[in-house]
A and B are shown apart, each in its own frame.
Chain A
Amino acid sequence: VIDVGEGKRARFADGALWLGETRVPLRCGSVQYFRLARDAFRPALEAARASGVTMVETYVPWGVHERAPGQLDFGDLRPENDLGAFLDLAHELGLFVFLRPGPHINAELTYFGLPERIVTDEACWARSPRDTPVYLHVPPRMFPVPSFASHRFQEEAERWLAAVADVVRSRVFPDGPVALVQLDNEPSLWFRNGAYDQDYHPDAQAKWRRFLRDRHGSLDALRAAHGVDYASFEHAEPPRRFDEDPRHLARHLDWARFQESLVEGALRRFAAVLRENGLGALPTVINLPIGENGIPVSLGALSSTADLVGFDYYHGEDDLEIVARRTRLLSGTSDLPFAPEIGVGSPPWFFPISAEASLETILTALAFGLRGLNLYMLVGRDRWIGAPIDEHGEALPTLEPIRRLMRALEATRFESLRRPIEAAIVLPQEYQRLSRVTQLLGIFGAQIFDVLAGDPVFGCRTDALGFAEPVQLRWWEDVVALSAALERHGVPFDLVSSEMPVEHLARYRLLFSPSYELCAEERWTKLRGAAKAGSAVYVGPLEPSVDDRGRRFEPARSPGITVIPAGQEGWADALCATWIEAHGAKRPYPVSPAPMKAVSHEDDEGTRVLFVVNPSSEPGDAEVRLPEPEAFEDALSGERFEGDAPLVVPMRARACRMLVRAIPPRAVERRPSARPSARAPRRKRG
């Protein structure tokens, strides 16, 4: 159960949102009222409901509703701006609503949905190290991004959110359909996430100094940490580029941490405004963009800012490995892994995502732990290619597989199933910060390379910065090596941010965290806590010797912490062997050949759903070893597979199958594996 706080009438449990006694699986579809003709509201919502979703999602775009400063149109001038009518209609049709009022929304709107007066107001602009505006290079207009620290921007955004709350307040569950609200959109520094890209706005610099005071307490401590002889806190200038002097490393790490706090602070403020304006009963959501390993956010801090932290998914057919990796991290972050946007189609200025690629992405994300999703866009609109329902509410052929999938999710109560996971890799946040500040390619920062190549350390410097090895590169290599080894050995695992609370880490029986000379004291404390709680914790290759404030660090060891020679030849396989042999790590449904994957989802009766994933560009047969005779049916194609010998599942290239256990396993006669035939009559049992 996720506690959504006092005064909220909703709770999250068993993978679903509970509104009173009503279970609402988060199966959601995007319908943007402001881009539909007013008379298309009903057919669009009816078509959405018929697709099998329980909830519709919509942005509320500031720039569309604002006619002049302080003058907002919610349907008086443009009928399609009638947010109230849209919500009332959704309520009438029995659909819940996931509302996303921004202030930033993107939605391929000009200026990302901000009014022109905001993007032309210099007081709102984020600033580069040379005090120039920071442009986001997107069509149909490049524009200077706002500063999360700017008081002017915050005040304007708060007025906007208060105005939205006036329309929505009376329509919150149980009086209306609104059941979830999102804070801002894809929070980061507006995709200009290079560590020295921004934000040097005067208000941000004031916050930076307050941040340093809070973090270091005294001027002496600050001087010692930064290796700079500041005259006072007021003289502590933010770094404007990286310098490789190891004595200044803590200053740069502080800057990266400060940028995270800037984003988090803005989101907290937005949440407070919604609360102060009568929307406090609504559970809140934060959606992180693709490339989450390269953006200035702390998953731990965000998890305490909103009730649900989710990831957005926009992936082509070649990205199934990346989808798996991202979902493992999401699964390690949230008890209800949710995709506030999972691309069904794509914007015209993005690479085209086919209907097939969308479906494989959805299936693969479900395989690795996704429990809730928002199909973005379910209903088509301007500047979107490939929605399965058009803007008049007409279902297109690409809707049918989605409909089948929704039926299968409902039939299996998929959101309540468990994915048995005992192992996790803990991603050190201080190493992520180090990788961000050592990026060499400016605006083409870690996020871009995480998106393009699944490698957030790609553009990092290669010098060792006073350590034995370049930690900014090595930690990621360790994560990749162990992930690959766990895959080879068939051990299911998650990725977990070191910023998550210790109780969260301690849920995993087996933990590994890369460890070099540098270590944040908080991470070590949490690893010790997890070890005390019974987890077997492995770190390596080095014991830490310096913390992220530049202080000498002598870590207290716990009996459950073992240092291993990570990075050496064969270390990852050796660790897997230890976990399997010494700790009895389970390996359900081994599958061959590599890189095929099989992931099971269980209820109290045992396996309920088995996913088989082929991320490679070659088709082939996956051979899944069954622990006992079992029979499965492909949720989308209806093909049937059964047997007790290795189950042979023909796989297309870059594809995922959702196989639903068809009949109780004991009812299947022991027989050799059978190849399926689509829509073939079922074999007789016994």
Chain B
Amino acid sequence: MIIHPEIRITGFDARAWWALVELFLPAERREASDEAGILFVLESEDGEPLLAHHTKLGRLRGVPRAASPATLRRLYLAERCVVLREGAIEELEQRVALRLSPTDDLASQILMVGQAAREMMHGGLIRVDPKLPTLPLPGPGVLRRTLDLLLPIGHSALLCAWVGGEIDTALCVHRGPGGIDALLGPRWLEAAVGPLGGDFRRDYRIVNEAVADELGPLVIAAHAQTPTLRALFRAPDPGAWASSAATRELIVRPMPPYAIVALGADALHSVASRSLAWSGAVRSRNATNSEAVRSRNATNSEAVRSRNAVDSVDAAPTRPTPEPEDDADSTEDT
């Protein structure tokens, strides 16, 4: 079991819940007005459009018959086009109903729905353009083993976002024998912890101890200021996590082996990226320079040739040929 059927979710007020959700939102939520919109088309078995809706343009009439999703997407300037065959949703429901059991774990149930939806796409009952990435869907066993690694039974994990010396929002997760059985928020945490000193770099220990006492041994706990966490979760630069951990902007204590590996990998990623960027820049510079030199030489030769030709016609005195400069920009001058 991944999710316990009687999972507790408590200790949040609306603000803290939203603050938690916001940590994980994508970096730049584009304004709706900037989006190209999504086009949904429902078509009959013979390709007749029965219903078409564009999220920016509203209901559409006169949609061409039997057009491919790519054509429709281009035609209506949509970011994505989803074409459903009439009855596809009902078919999806049938496939799901035949496989689901009410006693299955929620994660397994979601995987089954995802699997059925993928079959529908393969069968052409649901067509999407651009195509969705075909990531492999893990089985319940893989999910469980991954969870065993990340959060063993009887253990807890904590993410705590601070503003100054106060807890802004938090998420404590506990896994019992029946799966993840508690998601607890900052109000629960504050009650468990009691008064704090006002410096999160010291207070995190007290918080961790309280969680361990109340819930179970912590396998991982991450503490940082809310803006730091928000920046880290929103498409961080390579090495951002490792760098934040090194400067104690991010405190990960306890740090399980997988977190050490992840932070190490992040650091290596950063080093590699910078090395590549540096060597790439050098190569690119060299290449540019060589190209510039070749280009300049060629240009100069051409110029010389043509000038000589002119000179020979005009019999004018020749001017000295300028020396090539070691600067790519100088090609423009030549």
Interfacial residues, chain A to chain B (CB-CB below 8 A): 110-111, 116, 119-120, 128-130, 132-135, 137, 139-144, 196-197, 241, 345-346, 348, 352-355, 380-386, 390-391, 396, 398, 440-444, 458-459, 461-462
Bound CA–CA A398/B17 (angstroms):
15
| Inter-subunit contact B94/A141 (CB<8 Å) | no
A348 touches B97 (CB 8 A): no
Interface residues of chain A: helix, strand, loop or mixed (majority): loop
* Chain A residues whose CB sits within 8 angstroms of the CB of B113 once the complex forms: 137
Residue count of chain B within 8 Å CB distance of chain A: 39
Do residues A348 and B17 form an inter-chain contact, with CB atoms below 8 A? yes
Is residue B314 contacting chain A, with contact meaning CB distance below 8 A?
no
List A contacts of B106 (CB < 8 A). 139-142
Contact with A along B94-106 (1 / 0, CB 8 A): 1011101011101
Inside 8 A of A241's CB, which chain B residues have their CB? 87, 90
A residues in contact with B294, CB < 8 Å: none
Could you list 18 further interchain pairs (A-B, Cβ under 8 angstroms) beyond the known A110-B6, A130-B94, A141-B102? Answer: A119-B102, A120-B103, A128-B93, A132-B94, A133-B97, A135-B100, A137-B113, A140-B7, A141-B5, A346-B14, A348-B183, A352-B18, A354-B18, A383-B8, A385-B14, A386-B13, A440-B51, A442-B87
User: Is there contact, CB below 8 Å, between B17 and A386?
Assistant: yes
**A378 CB to nearest B CB, Å:** 14
Chain B 1-52 residues near chain A, CB threshold 8 A: 3-10, 12-15, 17-18, 21, 42, 50-51
Asked if B187 lies at the interface with its beta carbon under 8 angstroms from chain A, I say yes
Which residues of chain A have C-beta atoms less than 8 A from B90's C-beta? Answer: 128-129, 196, 241, 442-443
Residues in chain A near residue B183, CB distance under 8 A: 348
CA distance A111 to B6 in the complex (A): 10
Residues of A within 8 A of B10 (CB): 380-384, 391
B163 in the interface (beta carbon within 8 A): no
From the candidates B14, B51, B87, B93, name the one contacting A462 in the complex (CB within 8 A).
B51
For this complex, 7 residue pairs linking A to B, each with C-beta atoms less than 8 Å apart, are: A128-B93, A139-B106, A345-B14, A348-B9, A380-B10, A385-B14, A442-B90
User: Which of chain A's residues has its CB closest to B103's CB?
Assistant: A120
Q: Which of A128, A141, A385 contacts B109 (CB 8 A)?
A: A141
* Cα(A381)–Cα(B51), bound, Å: 42
Say whether A442 contacts B102, CB under 8 Å: no
Residues of A within 8 A of B59 (CB): 458
B272: Cβ under 8 A from any A Cβ:
no
Q: Is B89 part of the binding interface, using a Cβ–Cβ cutoff of 8 Å?
A: yes
B93 touches A443 (CB 8 A): yes
- Supposing A141-B5, A440-B50 touch, asked if A132 and B14 sit within 8 A by C-beta, the answer is no
Chain A residues, Cβ within 8 Å of B12: 348, 385-386
Which of chain B's residues have a CB closer than 8 A to the CB of A381? 10
Complex-state Cα separation, A416 to B100, whole angstroms: 51
Closest 7 CB pairs of A and B: A386-B14, A442-B89, A132-B97, A143-B102, A385-B17, A442-B90, A110-B5
> A444 — which chain B residues lie within 8 A by C-beta?
89
Give A127's nearest chain B residue, CB to CB.
Answer: B97
**What B residues does A143 contact at CB under 8 A?**
102
CB distance from A396 to the nearest CB of B (A): 7
Q: CB-CB < 8 A to A196: which residues of B?
A: 90
Query: What A residues does B14 contact at CB under 8 A?
Result: 345-346, 352-355, 385-386, 398
Contact between B109 and A142, CB atoms less than 8 A apart = yes
- B86 adjacent to A440 (CB under 8 Å): yes
Partner of A352, one of B8, B17, B89, B100: B17
CA distance A396 to B51 in the complex (A): 48
Chain A, residue nearest B18 (CB): A352
* Assembled-state Cα–Cα distance A396/B12 (Å): 12
The answer on a CB contact under 8 Å between A128 and B97 is yes
The distance from the CB of B107 to the nearest CB of chain A, in whole angstroms, is 10
Are B9 and A382 closer than 8 Å at their CB atoms? Answer: yes
Q: Do A383 and B51 have beta carbons less than 8 Å apart?
A: no
Chain A residue nearest to B44 in the complex (CB): A440
A111/B9 in contact, CB under 8 A: no
Q: Nearest-CB distance from B93 to chain A (Å)?
A: 6
Q: A396 to B102, Cβ gap below 8 A?
A: no
A142 to B111 CA separation, bound complex (whole angstroms):
12
- Please provide the chain B residues from 181 to 206 with a CB less than 8 Å away from any CB of chain A in the complex: 183, 187
Closest chain A residue to B52 by CB distance? Answer: A462
Question: Which B residues are CB-close (under 8 A) to A382?
Answer: 8-10
Q: In this complex, what residue of A is CB-closest to B49?
A: A462
Complex CA distance for A135 and B116, rounded to whole angstroms: 14
Please state if B102 and A120 are interface contacts (CB–CB under 8 Å).
yes
Chain A residue nearest to B15 (CB atoms) is A354
The listed residue (B13, B97, B187) touching A144 by CB distance below 8 A is: B97
Indicate if the CB atoms of B50 and A461 lie closer than 8 Å: yes
CA distance A130 to B6 in the complex (A): 32
CB distance from A203 to the nearest CB of B (A): 19
**Across the interface, which residues of B come within 8 angstroms of A116, CB to CB?**
102-103
B15 proximity list for chain A (CB < 8 A): 354
Question: With A and B bound together, what is the CA distance between A130 and B7 in angstroms?
Answer: 33
Nearest Cβ distance between residue A535 and chain B, in whole angstroms? 35
CA–CA, A483 and B113, complex, Å: 41
Are A135 and B93 within 8 A (Cβ)?
yes
| Nearest-neighbor residue (CB-CB) of B180 within chain A | A140
Distance A59 CA – B10 CA, assembled complex (angstroms): 19
Q: Quick one: which of A144, A352, A353, A462 contacts B102, CB cutoff 8 A? A: A144
Bound Cα distance from A134 to B113, whole angstroms: 14
B178 vs chain A, min Cβ distance (A): 11
Residue of B nearest to A383 (CB): B9
Residue of B12, B51, B100, B102 ringed by the most chain A CB atoms within 10 A: B102
Closest chain A CB from B90 CB (angstroms): 5
A354 vs B18: C-alpha distance when bound (angstroms): 9
CB-based nearest A residue for B109: A142
A144 CB contacts on chain B under 8 angstroms: 97, 102
Distance (whole angstroms) from the CB of B64 to the closest CB of chain A: 16
How many angstroms between the C-alpha atoms of A385 and B184 in the bound complex? 11
Q: How far is the CA of A139 from the CA of B18 in the complex (A)?
A: 19
Would you give the shortest CB distance from B113 to chain A, in whole angstroms?
7
Task: Point out the residues of chain B lying under 8 angstroms from A396, CB to CB.
Answer: 13
**Cα of A119 to Cα of B59 in the assembled complex, Å:** 39
Q: Which of chain A's residues has its CB closest to B3's CB?
A: A140
Residue among B13, B18, B21, B100 with max Cβ neighbours from chain A (10 Å): B13
- CA–CA, A196 and B87, complex, Å: 11
Nearest chain A CB to B258 CB, angstrom units: 26
